[in-house]
Structure 1
Amino acid sequence: MSNPRIQQLQQLFVSRLDTLSHILQVGQAHLGDRDLVNERLAPDMLPLGAQVAFACNQPRGFSQWCAGQPIENIDPTTVASLEDAHAQIADTRARVLAISASDAKLDEVKRIGMGPGRYCELPGDLYVSEYLLPNLYFHITTAYAILRMLGAPVGKADYMRYLGAHLRHDG
């Protein structure tokens, strides 16, 4: 049975996780083994390790929802090193690739907690497009911005590297 919508989401999630991994690798190569996971953009923002955890929690939660499992998020305090960050990304990537749900899953309604006493209910397609993807991009962008602020030579080409397969050259 072909599940093109689910397969498309798997490819999207995997490519963005690969982007996050790449950005971290560039940061580590340029900045060394310093305590990068505790760096922040601002004092009231969560550190790099938490940004990685929250970025992973989006596709991870999707994979758990597709499997009918309770959503168990990564505790951001457990990403205490870049090695931990890469391990969480690899685990999340494997979970996404293991999704075997049918496209009909995206028509089901998903209840999303929005803080104490608040929630919304969205069909699966909107759960992905209006909740998961914006959160995923926010946390990848924040991780990128932390590394950029510290002087890592990451740029838009690193952030949007998933477009590499579609690049063409004139001439």
Structure 2
Amino acid sequence: MTHTEIAEMQRIFTSRLDTLAHILDVAEKQLTDMDAALQERLAPDMFPLGTQIAFACNQPLGFAQWCQGLPIQNLNPDVPSLALARAHIRDTKAMLADIQVDDSQLDKIKRTGLGPGMYCETSGRFYVSDYLIPNFYFHIATTYAILRKLGVPLGKADFMAFLLPHVQREA
């Protein structure tokens, strides 16, 4: 059995967590009080920046926990400091690096809680492609959008920073 698909998910999650860290680095250079910025929202009915970071980390963290046969335990959504946000990213990357399972894990049925009294049961592949990945990008994009709203000079190149190792210039 191969580890091809699992390894690809590890790579995707890790590289995008690096992008999330990069976005925070840019913001830290521009904003005078990042801890206060973590309480900012894109809209009144949306979660604040700190929670968006925790929720972004919850997606690959849940993947790592599921692959390792552990109960999925989400991070506390209250992220009052940049230090804690960075720790969440670092610790999530460490959990991803520790995954030691073959691709047959993706054929297993995964029960996913969707809120009080609601859940769905899907294959692991569906869980990853149709639940984790869209949620992961949603929370990273929302983090980006909140920081843009706060005046942080982020561009698409920052959001797509994971492509930099592959960028070439024509002669």
Please tell me the TM-score bracket, short chain as reference. Answer: over 0.9
CA RMSD of aligned residues (A): 1.0
Question: Where does residue 76 of structure 1 map in the other structure?
Answer: 77
Distance 1:89 1:142 in 2: 16
Within 5 Å, which residues of 2 pair with 1:102-121?
A: 102-121=102-121
Secondary structure of the 1:143 match is helix
Within 5 Å, which residues of 2 pair with 1:15-164?
A: 15-34=15-34, 35-77=36-78, 79-164=79-164
Q: Judge which range, 22-31 or 112-121, deviates more.
A: 112-121
How far did 1:29 drift?
A: 0.7
Secondary structure of the 1:112 match is strand
> In structure 1, what residue type is equivalent to 2:60?
P
Deviations 1:9-41 (A, max 9, x none): 100000010011110110111112341110111
Secondary structure of the 2:38 match is helix
> In structure 2, what residue type is equivalent to 1:39?
E
| Superposition TM-score, scaled by structure 1 size | 0.96
Distance 1:131 1:55 in 2: 12
> In structure 2, what residue type is equivalent to 1:68?
G
Secondary structure of the 1:76 match is coil
> In structure 1, what residue type is equivalent to 2:41?
R
Deviations 1:132-166 (A, max 9, x none): 00000000000000001101011100001111122
Distance 1:43 1:3 in 2: 43
Deviations 1:23-77 (A, max 9, x none): 0110111112341110111111110000000000000000000011100000111
Q: Percent identity?
A: 55
Secondary structure of the 2:131 match is helix
Distance 2:39 2:95 in 1: 26
Secondary structure of the 2:115 match is coil
Structure 1 unaligned residues grouped into runs of 5+:
none
Distance 2:110 2:140 in 1: 24
| Superposition TM-score, scaled by structure 2 size | 0.96
> In structure 2, what residue type is equivalent to 1:45?
M
Structure 2 unaligned residues grouped into runs of 5+:
none
Distance 1:121 1:51 in 2: 25
